[in-house]
Amino acid sequence: VDNTEGRDFDDQELNSGDDSAEDVLGSDGEPKEEEFEDYILAQYEKVNRKQQKWKISLKEGVAHINGQDYLFSKMNCELDW
């Protein structure tokens, strides 16, 4: 089924209306950096999902929690999303 009848897609930029300049750029014109209070940076080994429960195995990472950095070699997580 051809649903493009009467439409001109060549003039539209992909995702052009998704973000406004105020949401993406700071007052200096540079992209805004999001700041997170707590975060985990690591490589993942395995991710399993069953309905709303996620089981994740992480390795070689850092967890920044309450202003402290915690290095780890292996971490197992269970998340309810």
pLDDT of residue 30: 73
Positions of E strands within 33-81: 39-50, 53-65, 68-80
Q: Is the pLDDT of residue 2 over 70?
A: no
Q: What is the distance of C-alpha 37 from the center of its chain?
A: 15
pLDDT at 76 > cutoff 70: yes
pLDDT tens for residues 58-71? 999 999 999 999 99
Structure tokens at 26: 């700071």
Q: Contacts by 13-18 with C-beta closer than 8 Å and gap 24+?
A: none
Radius of gyration, CA atoms only, the chain: 21
pLDDT digits (tens, 9 = 90+) for 10-50: 555 656 565 555 566 667 777 667 777 899 999 999 999 99
Distance of CA 39 to the CA centre of its chain: 12
Amino acid 41: pLDDT: 94
